[in-house]
Chains A and B, each alone.
Chain A
Amino acid sequence: DQQVKQNSPSLSVQEGRISILNCDYTNSMFDYFLWYKKYPAEGPTFLISISSIKDKNEDGRFTVFLNKSAKHLSLHIVPSQPGDSAVYFCAASVPNFGNEKLTFGTGTRLTIIP
Chain B
Amino acid sequence: DVKVTQSSRYLVKRTGEKVFLECVQDMDHENMFWYRQDPGLGLRLIYFSYDVKMKEKGDIPEGYSVSREKKERFSLILESASTNQTSMYLCASSLGGGQANEQFFGPGTRLTVL
A, B co-complexed: no
Q: Residues on B close to A: CB < 8 A? A: none
